[in-house]
Structure 1
Amino acid sequence: MGSLLLAAAVAAAWGGVSFGLLLPGVLVCAAAELALCCKGLPLAALALSGVTGAALASADPSLAPAAAGLACGCAAAAVLAPARRIEGLAAYGGGCVAGVLCVQPLAGAFGFLLSAGAGAGLCALLPAGWLAPAAKNDDPPGDERPRLSAAATRLEAVAESLSSLAETVNEVYDAFPRRCEDFRWVIDNIHDSLCANCGRREVCWKQEHAATLEGMEALRPILEERGHLETMLLPGQLARCIHPAALCAAGDRAFALYRSRREARVHSEAMRTALTEQYSAVADALGVLSEQLGRPGSPEPYKSGRVAALFAQLGTPPLECAVTLDDLGRTRAAVTLPRTRFSEKELAALAGEVGRICRRSLEPPQVLSCKGMTTLLFAEKPLLRAVFGTAGAAARGEISGDAVQQFCSAAAAQMILCDGMGTGRPAAVDGNLAAELTARLLKAGFTAELAARLVNVALALKSDEESGATLDLVSVDLYTGTARLFKAGAAPGFLVHGGKARAVGEASLPMGILGGVSGQSRVVHLAAGDYVVLVSDGLLADGPGWVLQQLELSAAKAEAPDLLAKKLVEAARARAVQRGRPDDITAAVLRLENS
């Protein structure tokens, strides 16, 4: 639009000037229109011919026939020979002659045609590089959209392969025959290793088979309780055995082998479950990523070029630069540079400059560095901002089994609370491991469900001892206020919307206990002034009633999240001291405010 206004002003200024038969306004307009046709920009050329023709006619009404002739010539060159120099000159000349002669007597048309021909000659004398066909505005530079589509297809194919691999492993495992290794296997082993060579085998295992088998079954509780046999502990049915010491030794060996084989089977099944669960979770994550790559947004080539020019002026020409609009009309910019370090002040300044170019208010960019490259991801400032607060108290000493992670990822506020099973250092290891892994996966783009599945595998394989941790997660879209809550074994959380508090969440199993995750998801909509509160089960030992009252009182006063969290923990700590049953107590609070 700015270029058209400038062209109209130039055409109007030169429209009333003449040097004999030569009309400078017609000459300049003809040269500019033909240049655009040669560069393969027919729409721009037609727009220019319309605007400059109107400007010429308004400056001098006698130039209206000339404007009509220029419009005819531009239309002929744009339609018949776009982006072709010689053919474009011929089409433009023919169109000008036809247009001028249709509206102007032959005697007065010579000056107009002379000026248009001079303009065409001026265009023909321009360097060939100036008239090289321009890249189409609707296609990203470097054929980016086909590459993105191909990358999305490849990722989807990899996701399907991993998912198919997990299904195949499970199907093969289910198809294998199961070995029935119960305690009867121990009895058979004792028979084969000892009784088969005994002289009383016929008596014990044929004539008195029922009594012998009953005595052997009576060995099971003894072995499971003590782990070994003694002659004085042998049941009465086996008192007739002539080799009691050998019987005890054979029973000890058979039971030890039986127990080791059973443990190996359980371990291999756990490893298979973990392997297939990892394959499935990564496959789902790749599927989500391929879907995102498949719809990268509407490109903004003009703004992309200006942003690239900005970084070039700063001495760091970008390797790639793309400004796009997502499905909701939000501007995003991605700039890839050679490996570069930026300070917080520099990032804020860059956000201001890129925002000025894009005419949007942008957040300081997210910085990603990998393999000698640095990528800056710019996003619009959201309508809301999150204010976090947290407080906690350990059951005993200074080590708490609860762990909290609070941060803002791209366009979303994330809050995580994990409660390790039990108290003290072992619970702290499980809680911090679960919270840290979940935070990393969320920052990498995993959904809450996929992150929980992978963390569940990590807890299950962390050690030979049983490990478990609850997961309480809330993710709030700071553009729309949509909050997604995910709970796996966590205590009920609380929402304060419009000044009214309510509890959310039901009982479920924590992570690390089963092969899969039994989690619950819920979506709610929040606004500025609302609170989200996550608590550990130690805070709810006396029920949620007093918590709801305290939340509504604090919301009415618009208290800061850290102050609210501290009040909740101190009150719960006092109640725990009165009961004499202390537990780890933690409260994590998120409050939404207008940005």
Structure 2
Amino acid sequence: MKARRLIKTAIVHALTFAFMLAGACAEVLTVRPFGYAMHYAVLLAGGSPLASAYYLAASFIADPGLLSFAAAGGTAIAGAAAGVIISACRRIKRKRMWRWIVHTLLQAPLCALLVYFTGGTVLAAGLTALIGTAAGAMMSFAVPLIAGKGLLAPGTLGSAGAGVFCIVLFSGLGSVSPFGFPIAYTVFAFSVPVACKCRSPETGMLLGVLAAAGCSLAGEDPYVFAALAIAALVCRAFCAGARPIPAVALVLGYCAGAYFFAEADPGYTGAAATAAGAALFALLPKRAVKALSSYFRPAGELTDIAAAAGMGRLLPERLVSASEALGEMSALLSSGGGREYAADCVGDALCGVCATCSRGELCGMRENVRALAFDYASGGSALKSAVLGEPCMSGGRMLKLAGEVMREVRGRAEVAERERRNAESYAVRLESLRRLVAKMADELAEDYRFDVFLSEKLRRDLPETGVACGGCLVTAKRRGIALVPRVVTAEEAEKGISRVLGGVRVERLGDAGPVWQAAAFAPAPALDIVYAFASRPKDGNTVSGDGYSVTGFGTTALVSLCDGSGSGRPASRLTQTALSVIEDCCRAGFDAGEGVDTVNSFLASRPGEEFGAMDVIAIDLSSGEADIIKAGTPPTLVVHGDTVTVIGGSSLPVGALETASYSLARRRLMPGDCVVLVSDGVSDVLRDLSASVSASLSSNVRRTAEGILSEAASCGCRDDMSVLVVRIVEAESA
């Protein structure tokens, strides 16, 4: 961290010195004031006093001599004095307008006097003070440089500030040509396509034209402006292509302009310098382009993303803390439960009887009363044998009292056991909730890592598909939110976003004001499912006790088949309740196994014997991975080509025990695979279920389900019969 901070500080100071040198190298009268303006702007923007020292050194390098050093020194002194005044007055330090006034009163008159006394005319002195003050004030509100405190993104530049900055920078760079190599052309050929790609094509073109004006102003050559302006326009025309395309177009545009305007100078040297800058842009790593895109992001979007990223860091921390607290609660509840007090209670009662016995110490039972009480509480007969074998006058009273105490203790034990069951049930639910909260924290931490490059691409390109965009945030996994007009439907938004980012699915539309609505989208899964359900009630009933559910949550498809205990309407109500509970659990974010645990706890806590055989399959439509959960159901058949795989499972249904007992199998399903679920009414009458499925299998899932059911029903419907057939298919492209 310290090394990164030192590197960042070094870059800031190096750029500050470079800007000072560029401004100081402008020797033409109409450009020279910008040297003062650059220094003025840096100080007004809240920069370090080191900026004055940089300006002093840069001026001496650009024009060695006592007079130049004196002029720059006076300017530096004025800036330092203004900095001292600003630091001493808190009100001035807070308000940028006060800083501007203080600097103007101190620096502008001194600049004019120094220029006049160092050989300049009155007109030159006045122009220096006037232009320097105006340009410095403008840039102080726009130039993305705060020396000693870091760099602000150029996205904070307004249009006017960006234009002035380009003119100042390139007018200074135009005077710097080591070994006859025009540095300004290289910087121009690199920065124009960067601005087109990372900000917007129009902004890149405008800044390119203004930079060309700065280069022309430095050399007093209008043909240079024409050639570079043509290069910027050509780059704008081809900026939508891959990175090498606008770079090559810019070089060709410059060469065409230089050839057309024969007086353009330099000729081949300028082409070589332009090609060097374009090549540098074309060879930039993708990571560097993303960093530049973040650096050049407009101020409003930069603020929004910073706020979202801050919330993304905060929410996972709070959720993790909440999950830890829930973990402690679940551990506390799990450690509770009923205790066995029978032995102690019976022992206390018997000791009380012995204490009032008339035989006192002569009785041999007093020494063994605790052991006898423990044996009696455990269901033994040692106490009865001891009373009958020992001439104990209080034996009958002891047996009667022990029986009463045991009945009372058993009542307490039953209450304690119920409390223990409730505690364990709550502990299981809280543990599931804790895991869910931790999972949400991880997902939030990942989802809030927004990809600046993709966000900017969607914001820029979505209107070209016919869907206006009021702002967007996109993660590297192509999940995010886009503001689209309220008149746009989910299908239209999905189609437009997919054309920009690739296949996505709009999961929901939310109200975002009178004009906009928020479209939440995620990558479209590669797979989909088609299914069919066929059922027939037990002979004599009009309602089947079997039921099914097929629903989707994001990229997960949940398939469930439940056979409630009994038949008719009571079994149907039980089945629908169990299916509804597991759907709600999965919709809330729990996995399928935790949903089955919840259903088991619900059924086990109800009075009477209510249970249900349940098949649950959770299919990840992105990868095809499927979790197949079986609890008391017949085998599940997975058909892949000509191969039929039988998946067996647990023999106990949900609700039969306090703790869920189910089997879990994981399979990877491919397009064309078929999964067949049946109830016990079908499996009991079909001796070879695999052969029946193979014989009924067809490309139509409805025919497959009805074929299996018809074969089973031909033997008589002695129980409810149900068949659910699910086929994996490739998803349709958006």
Distance 1:46 1:486 in 2: 53
Q: TM-score, normalised by structure 2?
A: 0.54
Q: Which residue does the alignment assign to 2:340?
A: 180
Deviates more, 1:189-198 or 1:496-505: 189-198
SS in structure 1 of the partner of residue 617 of structure 2: strand
Distance 2:256 2:561 in 1: 71
Q: Is the 8 A contact 1:482 1:525 kept in 2?
A: yes
Per-residue deviation at 1:273? 0.5
Q: Is the 8 A contact 2:558 2:617 kept in 1?
A: yes
**Which letter does structure 1 place at the counterpart of 2:665?**
R
Q: Which residue does the alignment assign to 1:503?
A: 646
Per-residue deviation at 1:289? 1.9
1:334 lines up with 2:481 in the alignment: yes
Distance 1:280 1:251 in 2: 41
- What does 1:211-222 correspond to in 2, within 5 Å? none
Is the alpha carbon distance of 1:197 and 1:412 closer, same or farther for their aligned partners in structure 2, counting shifts above 3 Å?
same
Distance 1:369 1:421 in 2: 45
Q: Is the 8 A contact 2:650 2:662 kept in 1?
A: no
Q: Which residue does the alignment assign to 2:699?
A: 558
Instruction: Choose which of 445, 457, 460 in structure 2 pairs with 1:303.
Output: 457
Q: Is the 8 A contact 1:153 1:290 kept in 2?
A: yes
Instruction: Choose which of 419, 444, 447 in structure 1 pairs with 2:588.
Output: 444
Distance 2:365 2:341 in 1: 24
1:58 lines up with 2:256 in the alignment: yes
Deviates more, 1:286-295 or 1:396-405: 396-405
- What does 1:434-473 correspond to in 2, within 5 Å? 434-461=578-605, 463-473=606-616
Distance 1:422 1:353 in 2: 52
Q: Which residue does the alignment assign to 1:278?
A: 429
Q: Which residue does the alignment assign to 1:353?
A: 496
- What does 1:68-87 correspond to in 2, within 5 Å? none
**Which letter does structure 1 place at the counterpart of 2:727?**
R
**Which letter does structure 2 place at the counterpart of 1:541?**
D
Distance 2:364 2:685 in 1: 63
**Which letter does structure 1 place at the counterpart of 2:629?**
F
1:547 lines up with 2:710 in the alignment: no
Distance 2:323 2:340 in 1: 36
Instruction: Choose which of 485, 490, 509 in structure 1 pairs with 2:633.
Output: 490
Is the alpha carbon distance of 1:371 and 1:269 closer, same or farther for their aligned partners in structure 2, counting shifts above 3 Å?
farther
Q: Is the 8 A contact 1:367 1:375 kept in 2?
A: yes
SS in structure 1 of the partner of residue 565 of structure 2: coil
Is the alpha carbon distance of 1:142 and 1:428 closer, same or farther for their aligned partners in structure 2, counting shifts above 3 Å?
same
Q: Which residue does the alignment assign to 2:617?
A: 474
SS in structure 1 of the partner of residue 444 of structure 2: helix
Per-residue deviation at 1:416? 1.0
SS in structure 1 of the partner of residue 530 of structure 2: strand
Per-residue deviation at 1:268? 0.9
Instruction: Choose which of 313, 328, 350 in structure 2 pairs with 1:164.
Output: 328
- What does 1:1-20 correspond to in 2, within 5 Å? none
Distance 2:302 2:552 in 1: 33
Output one character per residue of 1:103-131: Cα deviation in whole Å (capped at 9) or x when no partner: xxxxxxxxxxxxxxxxxxxxxxxxxxxxx
Q: Is the 8 A contact 1:54 1:67 kept in 2?
A: no
Q: Is the 8 A contact 2:562 2:614 kept in 1?
A: yes
Distance 1:26 1:145 in 2: 43
Output one character per residue of 1:223-278: Cα deviation in whole Å (capped at 9) or x when no partner: xxxxxxxxxxxxx979x999999999978864653332122111110111012111
Q: Is the 8 A contact 1:193 1:250 kept in 2?
A: no
Rg (Cα) greater in structure? 2
Output one character per residue of 1:72-96: Cα deviation in whole Å (capped at 9) or x when no partner: 79999xx9xxxxxxxxxxxxxxxxx
Q: Is the 8 A contact 2:650 2:663 kept in 1?
A: no
Per-residue deviation at 1:438? 1.3
1:150 lines up with 2:314 in the alignment: yes
1:409 lines up with 2:609 in the alignment: no
**Which letter does structure 2 place at the counterpart of 1:443?**
R
Distance 1:157 1:452 in 2: 27
Per-residue deviation at 1:521? 2.4
Per-residue deviation at 1:290? 2.0
Q: Which residue does the alignment assign to 1:583?
A: 719
Output one character per residue of 1:490-545: Cα deviation in whole Å (capped at 9) or x when no partner: 332110111322211222533334444333322222222221112222322146x5
**Which letter does structure 2 place at the counterpart of 1:559?**
N
Per-residue deviation at 1:387? 0.8
Q: Is the 8 A contact 2:611 2:656 kept in 1?
A: yes
Q: Is the 8 A contact 2:633 2:653 kept in 1?
A: yes
- Tell me how many residue pairs correspond in the alignment: 488
Q: Which residue does the alignment assign to 2:542?
A: 398
SS in structure 2 of the partner of residue 474 of structure 1: strand
Q: Is the 8 A contact 1:29 1:49 kept in 2?
A: no
Is the alpha carbon distance of 1:475 and 1:159 closer, same or farther for their aligned partners in structure 2, counting shifts above 3 Å?
same
Per-residue deviation at 1:389? 0.9
Distance 1:204 1:399 in 2: 71
Distance 1:471 1:406 in 2: 14
Distance 2:655 2:461 in 1: 48
Per-residue deviation at 1:197? 7.4
Q: Which residue does the alignment assign to 2:226?
A: 25
Q: Which residue does the alignment assign to 2:508?
A: 366
Distance 2:552 2:416 in 1: 44
SS in structure 1 of the partner of residue 440 of structure 2: helix
**Which letter does structure 2 place at the counterpart of 1:180?**
E
Output one character per residue of 1:267-322: Cα deviation in whole Å (capped at 9) or x when no partner: 110111012111211111122222222323762122342488699976xx86x632
Distance 2:345 2:249 in 1: 98
Between 1 and 2, higher relative CO (CA 8 Å, sep ≥ 6) is seen in 1
Q: Is the 8 A contact 1:53 1:67 kept in 2?
A: no
SS in structure 2 of the partner of residue 509 of structure 1: coil
Q: Which residue does the alignment assign to 2:119?
A: none
Is the alpha carbon distance of 1:559 and 1:139 closer, same or farther for their aligned partners in structure 2, counting shifts above 3 Å?
same
Distance 1:406 1:58 in 2: 64
**Which letter does structure 2 place at the counterpart of 1:360?**
G
Is the alpha carbon distance of 1:220 and 1:162 closer, same or farther for their aligned partners in structure 2, counting shifts above 3 Å?
closer
Is the alpha carbon distance of 1:367 and 1:302 closer, same or farther for their aligned partners in structure 2, counting shifts above 3 Å?
same
Distance 1:66 1:147 in 2: 54
- What does 1:65-214 correspond to in 2, within 5 Å? 65=266, 134-135=297-298, 141-143=304-306, 144-170=308-334, 172-173=335-336, 179-182=339-342
Per-residue deviation at 1:139? 7.5
Q: Is the 8 A contact 1:416 1:439 kept in 2?
A: no
Is the alpha carbon distance of 1:255 and 1:401 closer, same or farther for their aligned partners in structure 2, counting shifts above 3 Å?
farther
If each structure's helix is expressed as a fraction of its own residues, which one has the higher value?
2
SS in structure 2 of the partner of residue 465 of structure 1: coil
Distance 1:512 1:306 in 2: 55
Distance 2:594 2:566 in 1: 25
Deviates more, 1:252-261 or 1:451-460: 252-261
Q: TM-score, normalised by structure 1?
A: 0.65
1:572 lines up with 2:572 in the alignment: no
SS in structure 2 of the partner of residue 295 of structure 1: helix
Per-residue deviation at 1:406? 0.5
Distance 1:369 1:576 in 2: 55
Distance 1:313 1:219 in 2: 78
Distance 2:408 2:321 in 1: 45
Deviates more, 1:259-268 or 1:481-490: 481-490
Distance 1:377 1:67 in 2: 53
Is the alpha carbon distance of 1:367 and 1:165 closer, same or farther for their aligned partners in structure 2, counting shifts above 3 Å?
same
Structure 2 residues without counterparts, runs of 5 or longer: 1-192, 235-241, 281-294, 381-386
SS in structure 2 of the partner of residue 558 of structure 1: coil
Per-residue deviation at 1:414? 2.0
Is the alpha carbon distance of 1:218 and 1:405 closer, same or farther for their aligned partners in structure 2, counting shifts above 3 Å?
closer
